[in-house]
Structure formats: C-alpha cells, structure tokens
Amino acid sequence: MLKSILLGSFLTLSLVGGSPNFAGGISQAAAQTVLSEDFKTQWSDRDLTVGIVGSSGFRLDRPEDVPPSYDRPSLLPALADHKTGNLEPLITVEINGAVRGYPMRIVAAHRIINDSLGGVPIAVTYCQVCSSAMVFKRDVDGNATPLRLVGASYEENIILYDEATRTWWQQINGLGLSGPKADGALDVIPSKMESFAAFLKRVRASRA
C-alpha cells in the first residue's frame, strides 16, 4: 500500500537553456591537454598510470562535476501537476511505501540527482553516452554521501565518484573502478521507466 506523505510526488525545476562550451573555443586536442592537467591535479591522490586510466576504453569528457548534480530536489505532488505531458518519460522509484517520479529531461540535464526516499539516501543517475538510467543507494560504509561526475567515461559509460571516499563507480552497474573502495559496489535500487500517465494511474489507484 502506497501511504507515504511523498506519495506520487515528482521533482520539478526550471532548466537553463544552452550548452556549456568546455573547450572555450580552442582546438579539441588543446582542450584534451587542459583537461588532462586539471584531471591530474584533481586526482593527485592516486596513481593515474595504472588501471583503467591507461586503457583504450578510458576517455576524458569534461571538467569534474560538470554538469553539477542536483541535490535535494524540489517536489510537487503528481496529482497537483497540470503541466507535465502524459507521455513524458519518468524514472520512478518506490522505497518503503514512498513513491517518486523523476522526469527524464531533468535527470538527463544533471546526470545525477541526489535525493532521499523512504528514509533511504539515493542517487538517480543517467548516462547520456549509452542511455542507461540507474538508481543507487548513495552510501559508503553506512554513511550517506552525494555522488558526483568524475568528468570521464569508461567503455562508453560515465564514471561517478562519491564525496566521502572519492572512489570511482561505473554508472551502468555501480561497480568500483578506482580508489579506496574499488573492490566494492554501490547497492542498486530497483527502478522503472514509465510515462507520466502510467505513473499517475498508479498513484490514483493507490489512493482508491
């Protein structure tokens, strides 16, 4: 029975148009050089000559934390929304009786949404390269921590890191790639992709 006060809520916010120019007008090769130097500085705590960094599947995409993740999203009860189109896709999650839908366009814009649902800290993530949407329990060693973007991809899938240990995590499966918890994995939270209309139907049925 869906009975949380968060029943059927979904996040909403305004989006800023336009795409950031990460290269600043310089050549792609020069941009990669700049990114490489910044990358070495940001991750000076580990040996970047071994592991996935030196593999052919590793690629620097952009500066760290770009675009920034969306933390503690604002919410709107689904039954009170009159603007979202019926066919708009959502990533929906249910934990401990609480249900929430995340508009795909919002998740895609930020790549990571750090939220809490049903008393559980979660991260709703999306990889624009391979179109994979995954939800994880965002805690390491029992401590809640936000997830961020490394600014790189591995095997055509973005790499995440947690603020607490700065371990790298593969977005498509939550497996550790580099750092203190590289031999671990993030807990995957079940989620589904559905239209706003289907989500709304479930919410209404739970209130009947």
Residue 36 belongs to some domain of the structure: no
Residue 18 belongs to some domain of the structure: no
Residue 72 belongs to some domain of the structure: yes
Listed as ranges, residues in the chain with pLDDT below 70 are 1-35, 49-50, 81-82, 208
What pLDDT is recorded for position 173?
97
In sequence order, which ranges of the chain are alpha helices (DSSP H)?
A: 28-42, 104-110, 196-207
Residue 25 belongs to some domain of the structure: no
What's the N-to-C CA distance of the chain in angstroms? 11
Residue 193 belongs to some domain of the structure: yes
Residue 41 belongs to some domain of the structure: no
Residue 97 belongs to some domain of the structure: yes
Residue 135 belongs to some domain of the structure: yes
How many domains are contained in the chain?
1
What pLDDT is recorded for position 30?
53
Domain extent for 65: 46-207
What pLDDT is recorded for position 25?
43
Token pair belonging to 65: 């934390």
pTM over 0.75: yes
Task: Of 206, 203, 208, 205, give the one whose Cα is nearest residue 77.
Answer: 203
Token pair belonging to 1: 């029975």
